[in-house]
């Protein structure tokens, strides 16, 4: 029964994208009022938050009313017992659990019901359709390895040959990923920006697969230099997305203007400077509210990213508001003594197993044969826990690499107050601004400002 309910939700979703701006906002605000009532009635953390702010659900009519409650941060949720952040009546043993790496190196376990998980997929699917995905297309997703089975409703859809998807592990060697892509001949490829950039170097010079229509990046910042290399290596157009484990897709690149459409039938996205909404062209921090996920709601949640606000309505004619630029996570490849290259996020997956005691971390490759892992701990770890963690990281990186773990009181942000927690000092596409392609190589609407 749940599977057919989910498939009905798939069929109904996305209709607001074809209506007027007013219709979209009315739909968004209806969803917002519903999730606020749910969070207040079912989630102790939010009930206490509302009571401290002196408000009740009836005080919220539109997204502008969200300013009446304070912003929630990852550290706030991590300090709460599980039963305080989960909706009452939710069986935690039956939930899907996704652990974030986060742009601040602060992991969080995000819990979803089967319906939440299905809607997470639907949100991504609708964005892919807007970019040009057809039901008969074969898509290759370069991502993390997972033992979790897709929801039954999603498997039923794919059983009919619709929205087929192949998964390729991002921890594999870049040349192996390139070989698999050429073998399976996908119509569309998706993956983290840094992974796609590195794989594009392996594909450069190879014969382009004419099956491939476009490439979709996400997970990390995409700069002009990386976009040019990906476009040339894959031989296809590149479109960027902005998403998170907590929200699914927040915004995606408009094919006509290069602005980012905010997925307002999925999230409320505020761009704030010292708590006030910024004007068009101004930069601020991104604060988001999820409109669909009920097991573990997120209201006014600080992601740790920054964005530049765009026009309230995209000039392409679709009813979505826009972002001009997004500054978020940047993750590098590690260059090892035996010639291997490993995407640094593979280390983050090891650290996710230690989420109970790690408050924040920073992993830096200082030399080809030397890395340092700095950890600010929630509770002092036992010696055997640190030894086991060191052994796992050394096992990933291989012989000849000195792994140093440092326990520190806090992790300091880098220039501009931003955290960059998975990086290599030996070379990074995010440090190659002087190598960026000339602006004339890109249409005016696709230039990185």
3-state SS, one letter per residue, for the chain: CHHHHHHHHHHHCCHHHHCCHHHHHHHHHHHHHHHHHHHHHHCHHHHHHHHHHCCCHHHCCCHHHHHHCCCECHHHHHCCCHHHHCCCCCCHHHCEEEECCCCCCCCCEEEECHHHHHHHHHHHHHHHHHHCCCCCCEEEEEECCCCCCCCHHHHHHHHCCCCEEEEEECCCCHHHHHHHHHHHCCCEEEEEHHHHHHHHHHHCCCCCCCCCCEEEEECCCCCHHHHHHHHHHHCCEEEEEEEECCCEEEEEECCCCCCEEECCCCEEEEEEECCEECCCCCEEEEEEEECCCCCCCCCCEEEEEEEEECCCCCCCCCCCCEEEEEECCCECEEECCCCCEEECHHHHHHHHHHCCCEEEEEEEEEECCEEEEEEEECCCCCHHHHHHHHHHHHHHHCCCCEEEEEECCCCCCCHHHCCCCEEECCCCHHHCHHHCCCHHHCCHHHCCC
CB 143, CB 191: distance < 8 Å = yes
Q: What is the pLDDT of residue 442?
A: 36
CB 278, CB 309: distance < 8 Å = yes
| φ, ψ (nearest 5 deg) of residue 120 | -60, -45
Half-sphere CA count of 201, side-chain side, radius 13 A: 11
pLDDT digits (tens), the chain, 449 positions: 444 444 455 555 556 667 899 999 999 999 999 999 999 999 999 999 999 999 999 999 999 999 999 999 998 998 899 999 999 998 888 888 888 765 567 788 899 988 888 888 788 888 999 999 998 899 999 988 764 556 666 666 677 777 788 899 988 999 999 999 999 999 999 999 999 999 999 998 787 666 899 999 998 889 888 999 999 999 999 999 999 989 989 999 999 999 999 999 999 999 999 999 999 999 999 999 999 999 999 999 999 899 999 999 999 999 999 999 998 788 899 999 999 999 988 888 888 888 889 988 999 999 999 999 999 998 999 999 999 999 999 999 999 999 999 999 988 776 555 677 888 999 888 876 534 433 333 333 333 32
Could you tell me the two tokens for 175?
Answer: 């040349």
Q: What is the pTM of this model?
A: 0.86
Cβ-based neighbours of 231, under 8 Å, separated by 6 or more: 215, 237, 238
Domains within the chain, CATH numbers bracketed: 1-329 (3.40.50.12780), 333-427 (3.30.300.30)
| φ, ψ (nearest 5 deg) of residue 268 | -105, 120
Using CA atoms, how far apart are residues 80 and 46, in angstroms rounded to an integer? 11
Using CA atoms, how far apart are residues 377 and 359, in angstroms rounded to an integer? 5
| φ, ψ (nearest 5 deg) of residue 127 | -65, -45
């Amino acid at each position: 029964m749940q599977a057919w309910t989910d498939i009905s939700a798939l069929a109904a979703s996305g209709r607001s994208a074809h209506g007027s701006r007013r219709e979209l906002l009315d739909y968004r605000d209806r969803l917002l009022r519903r999730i606020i009532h749910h969070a207040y009635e079912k989630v102790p953390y939010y009930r206490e938050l509302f009571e401290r702010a002196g408000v009740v659900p009836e005080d919220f009519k539109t997204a502008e009313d969200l300013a009446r409650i304070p912003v929630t941060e990852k550290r706030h949720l991590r300090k709460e017992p599980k039963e305080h952040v989960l909706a009452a009546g939710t069986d935690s043993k039956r939930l899907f659990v996704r652990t974030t790496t986060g742009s601040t190196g602060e992991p969080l376990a995000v819990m979803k019901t089967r319906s939440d998980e299905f809607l997470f997929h639907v949100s991504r699917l609708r964005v892919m359709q807007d970019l040009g995905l057809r039901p008969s297309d074969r898509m290759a997703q370069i991502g993390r390895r997972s033992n979790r089975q897709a929801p039954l409703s999603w498997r039923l859809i794919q059983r009919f040959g619709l929205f087929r998807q192949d998964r390729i592990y991002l921890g594999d060697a870049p040349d192996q990923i390139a070989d698999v892509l050429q073998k399976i001949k996908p119509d569309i490829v998706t993956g983290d920006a840094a992974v796609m950039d590195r794989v594009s170097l392996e594909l450069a010079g190879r014969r382009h697969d004419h099956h491939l229509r476009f490439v979709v990046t996400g997970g990390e910042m995409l700069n002009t230099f990386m976009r040019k290399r990906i476009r040339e290596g894959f031989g296809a157009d590149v479109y960027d997305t902005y998403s998170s484990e907590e929200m699914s897709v927040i915004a995606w690149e408009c094919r006509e203007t290069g602005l980012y459409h905010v997925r307002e039938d999925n999230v409320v996205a505020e761009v704030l400077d010292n708590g006030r909404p910024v004007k068009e062209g101004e930069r601020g921090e991104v604060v988001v509210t999820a409109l669909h996920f009920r097991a573990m709601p997120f209201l006014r949640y600080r992601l740790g990213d920054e964005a530049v606000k765009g026009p309230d309505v995209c000039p392409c004619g679709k009813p979505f508001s826009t972002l001009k630029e997004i500054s978020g996570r940047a993750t590098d490849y590690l260059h090892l003594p035996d010639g291997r290259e490993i995407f640094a996020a593979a280390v983050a997956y090891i650290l996710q197993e230690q989420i109970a005691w790690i408050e924040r971390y920073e992993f830096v490759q200082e030399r080809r044969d030397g890395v340092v892992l700095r950890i600010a701990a929630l509770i002092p770890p036992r010696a055997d826990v640190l030894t086991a963690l060191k052994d796992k990281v050394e096992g990933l990186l291989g012989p000849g690499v000195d792994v140093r773990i440092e326990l520190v009181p806090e992790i300091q942000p880098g220039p501009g107050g931003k955290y960059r927690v998975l990086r290599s000092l030996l070379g990074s596409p995010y440090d190659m601004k002087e190598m960026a392609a000339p602006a004339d190589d890109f249409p005016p609407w696709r230039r990185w400002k």
